[in-house]
Chain A
């Protein structure tokens, strides 16, 4: 007896309803792994982010220019923006139903997240670099 379904998979060929061409499981797994890293990174970063509030320029540079805050904030920005990009992908896929607009929004999100992460790294390196 053969069971035929309308599902088609590039990986398995026609007829396998249980294997998807899409990346749902890797996506969920990736969000979890990055979130575990972001628990200590986020909590520590919150401390130094709060520390820059209301400070003059020297105070801001002193707060995050030391090696440990700079390194933790670097990791937080990079891992955080990778996690944020994937999370924003979910939001776009949930609320944008026009296929063309959705594709454009996903690309815009990819490059916006990369730009934020890159500029974040540049800014912290400039602040923390030995003068």
Chain B
């Protein structure tokens, strides 16, 4: 049973993940990036909602929110959102493959981690190029 002594010891026990102790490796970085892009998309959706509300109302409301999607900052925000969508999407595909027991060996999981990183950037670039050509 838990008593005061074990409570004190439990309080001193370090909490996982031991980010400052582990050697940084790619699979771990992609796990962290998956969480960061997920949280980032939450914020990105809030910003986009604000922008769309402004676009729906028009006039002064649109001028007030147009920084979200135009100019240097706006273009950067949109590009980050698109990249975060693809990075998080590929991270999810990676998890779906692992759910089925695939690519869990050292080479396989390293390949998926690299694929997530490169694929997210590549898909963003491809989409940007196609979008520029289409407009």
State the CA gap A105–B95 with chains docked (Å): 27
Please determine whether A88 and B39 come into contact, CB atoms closer than 8 angstroms.
Answer: yes
Q: How many residues on chain A are close to B (CB under 8 Å)?
A: 39
From the candidates A38, A97, A123, name the one contacting B53 in the complex (CB within 8 A): A123
Q: Please tell me if the beta carbons of A126 and B45 are within 8 angstroms of each other in the complex.
A: no
Interface residues of B (CB under 8 A from A): 15, 35, 38-39, 41-42, 45-46, 48-49, 51-53, 55-58, 62, 69-71, 74-75, 78-79, 81-82, 85-86, 88-89, 92-93, 95-96, 99, 127-128, 131, 135
Of B48, B78, B81, B89, the contact of A38 (CB 8 Å cutoff): B89
Nearest residue, chain A, Cβ from B91:
A35
B53 touches A47 (CB 8 A): no
Within the complex, what minimum Cβ distance (angstroms) separates A109 from chain B? Answer: 9
Q: Contacts A35-B92, A123-B49 known; A46 to B69 CB distance under 8 Å?
A: no
Contact status B69-A60, CB under 8 Å? yes
Contact mask for chain A residues 48-85; partner B; CB cutoff 8 A; 1 contact, 0 none: 01111111010011001000000000000100110010
Instruction: Answer yes or no: A87 CB below 8 A from chain B CBs.
Output: yes
Q: Which residues on A are within 8 Å of B, measured CB to CB?
A: 32, 35-36, 38-39, 42-43, 45-47, 49-55, 57, 60-61, 64, 77, 80-81, 84, 87-88, 91, 97, 112-113, 116, 119-120, 122-124, 126-127
Measured CA separation A121–B23 after assembly (Å) = 44
